[in-house]
Every structure is written in structure tokens, then in C-alpha cells.
Amino acid sequence: MPPPPKNKLAFLTQQAPASYVAGLGRGASGFTTRSDIGPAREGPSAEVVAEAQARRGEDIDPDPDTFQDPDNEVGLFAGTVYEADDEEADRIYEHVDSRMDERRKARREAREAEERARLLSERPKLQTQFADLKRGLAAVTDTEWENLPEPGNLTGKKRKRDPREGRAFAVPDAILVGDRERGEIVNDLDPRQQQLGGFETPVENSGTLSNLVAIGQARDNLLSLKLDQISGSVNGTSTSIDPKGYLTDLNSVHIKSEAEIGDIKRARMLFDSLVKSNPKHAPGWIAAACVEEHAGRMVQARNIIKKGCEICPTNEDIWLEAARLHNTDDAKVILASAVLHVPQSVKVWLTAANLETESKAKKRVLRKALEQIPNSVTLWKQTISLETSPSDARILLARAVEVLPHSVELWLALARLESPLQAQKVLNKARKAVPTSHEIWIAAGRLVEQNAMTDPAEGELPKSAETRERELDFVDVTIERGTKSLREHGVVLSRDQWLSEAEKCETEGSLRTAQAIVNATISMDVEEEDRVSTWVTDLEGSLARGKVVTARAILAYALRVFPDKRDLWRRAADLEKSHGTRESLEAILSQAVKYCPQSEALWLMSAKEKWMAGDIEGARSVLEAAFDANPENEQIWLAAFKFEAQNGKWAVARQLLERARSVANTERIWMKSVVFEWQQGNLQAAVQTVEAALTKFPKFAKLHMIKGQVLTDLEDIAGARASYANGVKVCPKVPALWILASRLEEADGRAIKSRALLEKARLLNPKEETLWSEAVGLEERASGTQQAKNQLVPGLQECPSSGLLWSQSIWLEARQARKSRSVDALKKSSDHPLVICAVARLFWAEGKVEKARGWFRRVITANTDIGDCWAWWYKFELEHGTNEQRAHVVDSCNNAEPRHGIVWPRIRKAMENLNKTNSEILELVATALE
């Protein structure tokens, strides 16, 4: 910026700036002359301007008519009329646009949902970030909530320092040394002191003198000061010294923090203002007294509540609070005054009665209360509960129902105290007095059931079963009448309420009443098409709550309505099997096969139950009836064959299979025929039978496997190899066929051929874990651990979550690396049972017995169908367990009936083990495991 000119008028010689107007600041206005704008001439045309803009690369201004509103037409279309044709055309266009929008709606919504999900993942909301913490708050207990610190105590901002809290400074070493030397005491007297003979013993030590008398006096003063502080006044309240000791118990002293004292002062000021501004507000007086009580000023609290009682004498709460703040004797006096001011307060009378220690005094207070409040059910119940004599209680109840005829509780209590005949009369009166009470009708039903189940008195004839059943039928009649009467009086209870009443009756022992309630109300408010599903839901709910009688009644009613529903009969059989007797189960099954003769499951269940009970002829007769009803059913034929075979009737079993092949002619029947001949040692007959079966079912893989195994037993290796080759050709997706073929070649000493078969199988079934596992085992046996690990790597790539492969990988590692490998295996396999079993074996190998046992239990909890896991656990208990623990494993295994595993199926299906029990198979598998 140039410096200002020295001459102030120099600007007159300079050129004026653009748009300068002389005198504009004084109000002058500018003007333009011809000389300013030059001679008149025509400007460039629009084409010239556009061409120049195009050369310079500028954007060309659009034509303003381009964005002309069609509803505000100008020019050629100005002044036109919007007619019906235009309206129809617009409507068609709108319809087309809406249809196109609907077609794009799915893609648009999917795109928007994906965009929202992306935004939420990138920038999640606060409520989603803390959702897990909010759910965790549900587990916080009330005690933990109450112990949460105040927010003001968590920060140090603007917090006054407690004067009792000292300041901490680094003490110099010189002071510490001097302190240490000053505390020393020298017992020798200075010669000067010996000459003086005084008691004061100055000792030359770092320039200080130690006065033993002064130290003793200081100690006594300190003890006196502490005693004075304890016995002195603290906030207006005094404490006393324990006569048996010098100091009182410090646990009884409640030291309030500075923040709490401030809160008490603020609360005191607030409630003081409240009671002064609104003295008739009783809760204010109560709150003010509670503040003083919390501060430990009981005298002030009692004075405040006393004044409140004087100002608000008609409020029952303030009298009750006053009684609470005083001792028992004073509280009695206060409540005596209270009943004069609020004689209709039930709480005051009950509190006064509770203050009495003797039963007579309590009765006297309650009877005075009944004189004032005769229509209080609570007072009547409290008075009657104090009576020890049933006759006196009956008299009081009789008077109570006269005064309060609409109290159902009092009527029911009176009926319970009367004899059966009188109770019936009482309930009839109650029903007339309270016609809308369902409790009275239920009580009547329970009374009828009680009378029917009660044995007659001595000297009378005992009731026959028919008489007892006829009397119990009257329970159904009573409940049915009750529901009808309630509907007439406009009382409609929901199904859930009635079911709750039935379960309540079952809990209290009135089983027939519970059944009657279910029969009378189970079909209420249920659509016809929803009856089965609704009743099944009710059944499952009752069973979940442990109400078996109610569930049985629901199921019985449903079977009466739908006797041909197989699922309902199955549920009934399962219910009786779990909660009933053998006789009730057989009765249910006999009814089930009668109404559902085409259900093979019910027939087989009935035959099995008779067989398990030892009734062999009964089971055989059931199967014969099942044959008549289902002549071509495969399950029944196989069940009959198994029944005869396990009972040693080999000829009958063979005849049944021959007849089944001609009647049913299924692949499983042919397979069972081959296995039966194989089991009997007729290997040639088995080969002939399997060849005949393969002509009918060439794609049934199990026939190819059985044929290969039979030929192997006949030492016909070439025939077995051909059988497996044909099998994998027609059934290439069955891994078991490839594995059997591979094992045959390995057993024949042709490991290369075995490896080639498994490789070909993996090409056809790349995701099959059993093929990879077999290949790993083959490499381990043939080439060693390192080659097996190399084979396992691609297997885990193809099957990353395979528990079988991960369990193998643990044992292929060195001992020191197995634990870390097991952690990875658990994560990758999602806690597969085989991996858990491997971890249990690791703890077993390390000698951690209890940990190993816990992990074995965890295996069985995860899956009970893997027989190898049961065998490993049993083998572990054989080494480290007791007889009880081993018996527990065997019993649990028998109940689970496992069928899968690596070693278990091979031993289970071996010919020599076909008739062995699960316990025997468990021992064999445990012995075979390595």
C-alpha cells in the first residue's frame, strides 16, 4: 500500500474510480449522457453469443420454455380445456406408473434394506450399542440396585476437602532420622540428675530430653479425650459407656458423610416449608418425621409426628406412623386416641390388636373393632383365626355370613367347618346369596367328591365300586350345572381361568373335580378348525406345569371328540408310559388300535409293551391282529420277525421273512432276509438271497455292502471287490461303500489301490468328512503321522467345521501342542461332541480326573447318540471311578440306546454281537478303543 501523499488535494489530478458519482454522499444522484455510452449500435444476435460461448467452452443457457409447466400452457396450447379424454389419459399413465413402481418395489426395498443395514453397521445407534448391557440389567438384584453409589460421589469436581483428611507431603530424610532418634529412651541417669535426685530424667539424645512423666500424662489425656468424645453429644443424641468395658461398640455408631448431612438439611428445610404452607397435608408431617428419624433425632421426630396428629387427626396413616415411632406402651396410648378420631379405620384396629401380646387382649380389641366396623371381612377373618375351638369359630362364621352374606371366603370357611350334610346346606345358601361366584360351585363339586371317596362309618356296609362311581358322576353334574348357572347370571370365565381352577383342584387333591371342570369348559371359545391344535397346546402347558391329571382329562376329552387322530393316541400312550401304570398304558393302546387300525406305530407299541411285561403270547396275538389289519405293512412284518427271532423261533422267523418277501416285497425285508441267513451261518444261502435282491433293487447300497462282507467271510476277495465296484458304480454318493472297498484293498495289502479309491470317492463327494477321516487314518497307518497331517490339511479346508476331522487333528499333534489345538478345534467345530470327548481324554491323560469327568458329562449332554463317547467315558470310569459311577454310565447308556460313532456301529453290527445287549456292546467297544 503506497504512503499517503503529502498534498491533500492531489486526488483532484487523479482519475475517478469506476461508478463514481460526485456528491453522492451529500444526496446527489448520478446521470448518464450520450458521451458516456457512445453511439447507438445493434448488439450481437443470440446465435453469435451462443457460438462465442461454445468457442470459449462455456455452458449454454437452456431455453426457458424447456421447463414450462404443462398445467400452465402458453402459446399454441394456451386456453385449452381439460376434458374427459385428458383425464382418462392421465389416469392410464398413473396406472402404468404405479404398476411399474410395484414391479420395482421388491428390488427397491431390498436395496434400501441393504443400505440401512450398511449404515447401521458403519454408524450404529447408541441404543443398539448398549443393547446387551441393557439386557444384562435384568439380572441385577434389588440389593445391588440399592448399593449403587450416588453420582455426586464419583467425581472430585467442586468437592470440599474434609478437614479431617490431612494433606500428604514427602517427608525429608533428616526429619525421619530425627524422629527415630527422638523416640529412643535411655534408662541410665545423667550424673547431674543423680546429683539432683529429681524425677525428671533428661537424656542427651539429638538435643532432646525424654520426660517419662510427661509421656504418661499425655497418654492419660489422650484416653480421656477419646472417652469424652464417645460419651459426649453428637447431633443432639447422647450415648452411654458400656459398663463392662471402656469403649462402646463402634458398630452401633453410624457416621454420616458430608453429602448425606447436606441432603438431610435440605430435606428438613423442604418438609418444614411444606408443613408450614399446608399443615393439613398428613404425608408432609410423616415425611418430616422420617427425615428426623433417619438423622437419628428420635425426640424431634416424635414431636413432629405428635404435632401432625393434632393437626390431622382424621388421617389413619399419621396415627400409624406415630405408633411406629414410639415404643409399645406409648403406641397403645396413641392408638387408643386414634380409634376415637378414626373409628372406621381397619388398619388402626389391626395394628392395635397386633400390639397386644395375649390372645384374650387381641380378641377384646378385635371385637370392639367389629362393633365399630361390622362389615369388614378382614376383621372377621382375623377374629376367627384367633379361635382355637372349631365350635367357637363356627359360631363366629355363622354370625359373619349373616352380616356379610356376599363374602365368598366366609361362606367357604363355614362350609369347611360343618359336617358334610350341613356343609351342603351352607353351600346352597351361599349359592343363593352369591349366584355369581364360581368358587362356591367348585367347592360344591369338591364336597360331593369328598363324600363319595369317604369310607362309611363302622357298622355300615362298604360302598361298592359301582356306587362310588355313580356318586363321582354327580361331580360332573354339579360342575356342569354351575357353568350353566354362571352363564345365566352373566358371569363368563375364560378357558385359561377354568384350567387354572382345575389345576388348583388337582394340587389340593380333588382329582375328579379337576376332570369335571375340564370336561365342562375345555370346548369354550374354540373354533372347530382350531380345536385339536388348541387342546394340544393346553395339554403341553399342563404337562409343563406338572399337572398330569388335568392333562389326562384334556387328552381324554379330545379323544372322545376325535377318536381317529393317531397323534392324540400317541400322546396318550406317551403320557401313560411316563406317568401311568402298565395297566393304564395297555388299556390306552388297546383302545388306540381299535380306533386307528392302520397305524403300525400303535400296534408295535402295544406288542412291545406286552413283550416287555413278559406276556409273549399276548404280544404274538397283537401282531397277528396287526397282520390282519395291515397285511402289506413292512414295519409289522419286520417286528414279527424280530419277535420270533429273539425268542429263538428260527424256523418261524424264516417263514415270516419268506412270506413277507412275497407279500410286502420291500428292500428292507430282503436285506433282513440276507442278514438273517448270514447270522445263521448259511453264507451260500445269504449270497443267493442277496443276488436275488439285487435283481429287484440294484440301487440299494446296503445290499452291495452286505454282499461284499459275506463274500469276504467266504474268502472270495475277487467277488467282494467286484461287489463293491458294482456298488460304487450305481451308488457313487454313498461313502460307506467307498470306505468298505478301501478297507478291503488295505487288508489285501494294496495300500496304493486303497488310496486311489478314497481319492476318487472324495472327487465325487468333496464335502464328506468320513471319506477325509478314512484317508487320514489310512495315511497314518501306511506312511506315518506327518503324511496324515498333510492329508488332513485339505480335509479341513473342505470341511472346516467337521468335529470328526478336528478331533483327529488333536491327536496328530505333539503332546505339548494338543491343548492349544483343542482350543481351536472347539471354536471351529462349534463344540462338537467328538471334540469335547477329545478334550476330556486330554485331561484324563494329564491326570486331572475331576475335570475329565466333567467334560465327559458335557459330551453326553451335547449328544447321547454317539456310542464311542459312552465307551470312552466307561473306560475312564473303569480306571478312576467307583462301582456306582460305572453303573450310572451303563444305565444312562442303556436308556440312550446310541447307534452312531466310529467303532460302535462296527462292533454293534458284527455277526457275533447281534444278540448282545447295550451293556455288553459298551464293554466290547471300551476294550476295542485305543
DSSP per-residue string spanning 225-243: HHHHHHHSEETTEE----T
Longest dimension (CA), the chain: 151
Among the residue ranges 208-222, 391-405, 745-759, 828-842, the one predicted with the least confidence is: 208-222
Which is nearest to 501 in space by CA: 413, 411, 408, 438? 438
Position 162 scores a pLDDT of: 47
Task: Give me the mean pLDDT over the 67-71 stretch.
Answer: 53
DSSP per-residue string spanning 169-211: -PPPHHHHHHHHHHT----SPPHHHHHHT-S-----BTTB---
The predicted-structure confidence for 307-361, as pLDDT tens digits, reads as follows 988 888 888 898 988 888 888 888 888 888 888 888 888 888 888 888 888 888 8
Contacts of 299 (CB under 8 A, 6+ apart): 236
Range among 112-126, 374-388, 742-756, 897-911 with highest mean pLDDT value: 742-756
Place of cell 437419628: 296
Q: Is residue 548 part of a domain?
A: yes
The predicted-structure confidence for 299-309, as pLDDT tens digits, reads as follows 888 898 889 88
Q: Coil, strand or helix: which one is 8? A: coil
The predicted-structure confidence for 81-107, as pLDDT tens digits, reads as follows 667 787 888 888 888 888 888 878 888
How is residue 63 annotated by DSSP?
P
Give the dihedral of Cα atoms 510, 511, 513, 515; nearest 10 deg: 160
Task: Give me the mean pLDDT over the 421-447 stretch.
Answer: 86
* Same domain, yes or no: 376 and 433: no
Q: Give the residue, 840 or 188, on which the prediction is more confident.
A: 840
Position 551 scores a pLDDT of: 92
Task: Give me the mean pLDDT over the 463-472 stretch.
Answer: 79
pTM of the model: 0.57
* Same domain, yes or no: 516 and 426: yes
Position 457 scores a pLDDT of: 58
pLDDT at residue 533 above 70?
A: yes
Place of cell 468328512: 769
Position 221 scores a pLDDT of: 56
CA distance 905 to 870: 13
Give the dihedral of Cα atoms 837, 838, 840, 846; nearest 10 deg: 160
Q: Coil, strand or helix: which one is 615? A: coil
The three cell numbers locating residue 712: 469276504
pLDDT at residue 27 above 80?
A: no
The predicted-structure confidence for 596-630, as pLDDT tens digits, reads as follows 888 888 888 888 888 877 778 888 888 888 877 88
Compute the residue count for the chain.
930
Position 64 scores a pLDDT of: 54
CA angle centred on 487, ends 483 and 493, rounded to 5°: 70
CA distance 220 to 200: 18
Among the residue ranges 25-34, 113-122, 636-645, the one predicted with the least confidence is: 25-34
Boundary-marking domain end, from 372, 390, 408 = 390
Q: Is residue 169 part of a domain?
A: no
Give the chain's domain count.
2
Task: Give me the mean pLDDT over the 4-27 stretch.
Answer: 67
CA distance 691 to 723: 10
R_g (Cα) of the chain, nearest Å: 50
Contacts of 343 (CB under 8 A, 6+ apart): 372, 373
* Same domain, yes or no: 363 and 491: no
Residues 152, 170 contacting (CB under 8 angstroms): no
- Tell me the β-bridge partners of 615: none
Percent of the chain surpassing pLDDT 70 = 78
DSSP per-residue string spanning 399-452: HHHHH-TT-HHHHHHHHHHS-HHHHHHHHHHHHHH-TT-HHHHHHHHHHHHHHH
Q: Coil, strand or helix: which one is 866? A: strand
Output the CA torsion sign for 834, 836, 839, 840: negative
**C-beta atoms surrounding 366 within 10 Å:** 22
The predicted-structure confidence for 803-828, as pLDDT tens digits, reads as follows 999 999 999 988 888 888 888 899 99
* Same domain, yes or no: 443 and 538: yes
CA distance 344 to 723: 100
Residues 549, 506 contacting (CB under 8 angstroms): yes
* Same domain, yes or no: 384 and 422: no
Position 876 scores a pLDDT of: 92
Q: Is residue 601 part of a domain?
A: yes
The contacts found for 907-915 with CB under 8 angstroms, 24 or more apart, are 908/867, 911/678, 911/679, 914/679, 915/646
Position 57 scores a pLDDT of: 62
Task: Give me the mean pLDDT over the 283-292 stretch.
Answer: 88
Q: Is residue 811 part of a domain?
A: no
Q: Is residue 730 part of a domain?
A: no
CA distance 772 to 1: 88
Task: Give me the mean pLDDT over the 125-141 stretch.
Answer: 71
Q: How far is CA 293 from CA 299, 303, 335, 620, 764, in A?
A: 9, 11, 20, 85, 85
Q: Is residue 608 part of a domain?
A: yes
Task: Give me the mean pLDDT over the 526-539 stretch.
Answer: 88
Q: Is residue 751 part of a domain?
A: no
The parent domain of residue 597 ranges over 416-455+463-617
Q: Coil, strand or helix: which one is 42? A: coil
Q: Is residue 526 part of a domain?
A: yes
Contacts of 323 (CB under 8 A, 6+ apart): 331, 334, 335, 338, 351, 355
Boundary-marking domain end, from 375, 390, 405 = 390
Boundary-marking domain end, from 590, 617, 644 = 617
Task: Give me the mean pLDDT over the 5-27 stretch.
Answer: 67
3-state helix, strand, coil in the chain (%, to 5): 70, 0, 30
* Same domain, yes or no: 519 and 563: yes
* Same domain, yes or no: 576 and 441: yes
CA distance 481 to 440: 12
* Same domain, yes or no: 523 and 557: yes
The predicted-structure confidence for 201-251, as pLDDT tens digits, reads as follows 343 343 434 455 555 555 555 545 544 444 343 334 444 444 444 344 434
Q: 715 — alpha (psi -120 to 50), left (phi > 0) or beta?
A: left
Model confidence band, residue 929 (pLDDT cutoffs 50, 70, 90): confident
The predicted-structure confidence for 838-875, as pLDDT tens digits, reads as follows 999 999 998 999 999 999 999 988 888 999 999 999 99
The predicted-structure confidence for 641-694, as pLDDT tens digits, reads as follows 888 877 778 888 888 888 888 888 888 889 888 888 888 888 898 889 999 999
* Same domain, yes or no: 588 and 546: yes
Which is nearest to 894 in space by CA: 917, 926, 862, 863? 917
Q: Give the residue, 270 or 28, on which the prediction is more confident.
A: 270
CA distance 253 to 264: 18
* Same domain, yes or no: 546 and 470: yes
The predicted-structure confidence for 555-583, as pLDDT tens digits, reads as follows 999 999 998 888 999 998 888 888 888 88
* Same domain, yes or no: 435 and 578: yes
* Same domain, yes or no: 470 and 574: yes
Domain of 275, CATH number, reads 1.25.40.10
Residues 492, 484 contacting (CB under 8 angstroms): no
